[in-house]
């Protein structure tokens, strides 16, 4: 079993740090397929894999299973994501201890989105309202745990302004965040501006840009509406022109992401996190292009 290393240590060693995000499948039958996908990805040697954490019980179990199998069977550095949704402190503590005892040394610590049927985040009685509370809680329990926190170059959708969102990010960083992974964006200027604003706030943590290749126009419209990241007009226009040709859409999307990654690395980004949408081929293309 590969010893899990804090991402801060990996950041110091390997530049640029390349990571790939998977989400757990909806059914246990599909876990094998995802583990096979991780096996294929492992050949292009990403620095770590992250696995998202869902809102419901069965999704959470699958998230844990996928993370464990990628860590123990495939031999990858794995960072499970973790949210405050639907759990009391005691329950969160038990899950964090389990992560720790299973050898994980990195957790992406998040608040989570509002659950279905709610416009706003519902705080569980005895649970936490903000990711910063979760970060402080984990840090107190396991000081050597390396914690990823989320940053939003184009502002978190619920924040009244970028200014208040950056203040919240500062609290989260001061609570014990180890590095920032950004929400997806398609215009690198948004990232460069964000880095300046974060540094102006006195936050010195590494900031890993999150890049998602467009693989389907319909899908990306839905995703960008949810997370309120801007799809540049030039990209949208190019995609619309080939809307009925999935291969052409994919090719434009991957090429755009490759150009983004090349520029980010050239301009000294701390690494790149690929929102792979569980698609191996495009993730491998992006890793290989990033390594040059």
By annotation, the residues acting in catalysis are 21
Q: At closest approach, how far in Å is the CB of 50 from ligand FAD?
A: 8
Write out the binding residues for ligand FAD, residues 74-93 only, by CB under 6 A: 81, 83
Backbone angles phi, psi at 181, to 5 degrees: -110, 135
Among 72, 100, 130, 223, indicate the residue that binds ligand FAD (CB under 6 A): 130
113 is a contact residue toward ligand FAD (CB under 6 A):
yes
110 is a contact residue toward ligand FAD (CB under 6 A):
yes
Decide whether 150 or 220 has the Cβ nearer to ligand FAD.
Answer: 150
Q: What separation in angstroms does the CA of 79 have from each of 20, 33, 90, 245?
A: 10, 19, 22, 35
What are the b/e assignments for 211-222, b being 16+ CB within 10 Å? bbbbbbbeebee
Which residues on neighbouring strands pair with residue 22, listed in sequence order?
51
210 is a contact residue toward ligand FAD (CB under 6 A):
yes
Q: Name which of 249, 244, 248, 247 is nearest 231 in CA terms.
A: 249
Interstrand relation of 17-22 and 146-151 (parallel, antiparallel or unpaired): unpaired
Distance CA 220, CA 226 (A): 10
Distance CA 235, CA 216 (A): 12
Write out the binding residues for ligand FAD, residues 148-207 only, by CB under 6 A: 150, 156, 158-159, 164-165, 168, 171-172, 181, 183
Which residues on neighbouring strands pair with residue 179, listed in sequence order?
148
Decide whether 252 or 290 has the Cβ nearer to ligand FAD.
Answer: 290
212 is a contact residue toward ligand FAD (CB under 6 A):
no
Q: At closest approach, how far in Å is the CB of 165 from ligand FAD?
A: 4
Which residue in this structure is represented by tokens 């990996």?
A: 10
Distance CA 169, CA 150 (A): 8
Among 48, 53, 137, 186, indicate the residue that binds ligand FAD (CB under 6 A): 53
Decide whether 76 or 180 has the Cβ nearer to ligand FAD.
Answer: 180
Residue numbers of the site for ligand FAD (CB under 6 A)? 52-53, 81, 83, 108, 110-113, 130-132, 150, 156, 158-159, 164-165, 168, 171-172, 181, 183, 210
């Amino acid at each position: 079993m590969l010893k899990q290393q804090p991402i801060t240590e990996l950041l110091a060693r390997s530049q640029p740090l390349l990571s790939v995000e998977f989400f757990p499948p909806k059914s246990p039958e599909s876990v094998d397929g995802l583990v096979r996908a991780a096996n294929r990805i492992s050949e292009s040697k990403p620095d770590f894999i992250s696995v998202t954490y869902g809102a419901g019980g069965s999704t959470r179990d699958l998230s844990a299973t996928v993370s464990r199998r990628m860590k123990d069977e495939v031999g990858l550095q794995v960072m499970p994501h973790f949210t405050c949704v639907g759990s009391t402190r005691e329950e969160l503590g038990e899950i964090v201890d389990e992560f720790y005892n299973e050898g994980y040394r990195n957790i992406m610590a998040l608040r989570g989105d509002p659950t279905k049927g709610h416009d706003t985040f519902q705080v569980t009685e005895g649970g936490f309202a903000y990711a910063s509370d979760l970060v402080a809680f984990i840090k107190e329990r396991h000081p050597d745990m390396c914690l990823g926190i989320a940053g939003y170059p184009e502002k978190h959708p619920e924040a009244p302004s970028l200014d208040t969102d950056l203040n919240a990010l500062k609290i989260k960083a001061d609570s014990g965040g180890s590095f920032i992974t950004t929400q997806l964006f398609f215009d690198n200027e948004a990232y460069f501006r964000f880095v300046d604003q974060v540094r102006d706030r006195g936050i010195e943590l590494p900031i890993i840009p999150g890049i998602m290749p467009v693989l389907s126009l319909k899908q990306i419209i839905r995703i960008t509406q949810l997370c309120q990241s801007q799809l540049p007009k030039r990209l949208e226009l190019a995609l619309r022109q080939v809307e009925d040709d999935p291969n052409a859409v994919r090719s434009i999307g991957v090429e755009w992401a490759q150009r983004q990654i090349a520029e980010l690395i050239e301009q000294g980004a701390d690494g790149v996190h690929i929102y792979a949408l569980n698609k191996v081929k495009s993730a491998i293309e992006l890793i290989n292009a990033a390594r040059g």
